[in-house]
Amino acid sequence: MQLRELTIIKRSGRRAPFDREKLVRSISIAMRKRPVDAERVERMVSGIVRQLESRGETEIHSEVIGELLMKALKSLDEVAYVRYASVYRDFRETQDFARFLGEEGLSEEAETLEP
């Protein structure tokens, strides 16, 4: 249950109402075929929504949601975290993945992929 109507400010500057189902869909894509219980995913979504509502703001930049989602995914499932990050951070080349994995401490081999 939402306490107040939240408006999301997109990167383009456009505003849209917060859509919990869109958040769920984004997580579902990242979590596809991962061995994580649906109840844990639902708790993660509820936690993100609570964090957004507790900010006391009615307008929230989409980047805030993206960062909260990445933080939650990282603690839940590293593969889903990397999947989401690859889209959210717009990786275009293998070096982008390698750099990200190295920065996150997720791969000892990341440095060997650098040109």
pLDDT tens, the chain, 115 aa long: 444 689 999 989 999 999 999 999 988 888 888 898 889 989 999 999 999 988 888 999 998 998 899 889 888 888 888 888 777 666 666 676 667 666 766 665 444 444 4
100: left (phi over 0), alpha (psi -120 to 50) or beta: alpha
Take residue 100 and report the two structure tokens written for it. Answer: 């990200």
pLDDT given at position 7: 92
Q: Where are the domains of the chain?
A: 7-90
pLDDT given at position 109: 45
pLDDT given at position 81: 81
pLDDT given at position 95: 75
The pTM (predicted TM-score) of the whole model is: 0.72
Up-side HSE of residue 19: CA atoms within 13 Å toward CB?
10
Q: How far apart are CA 35 and CA 87, in angstroms?
A: 21
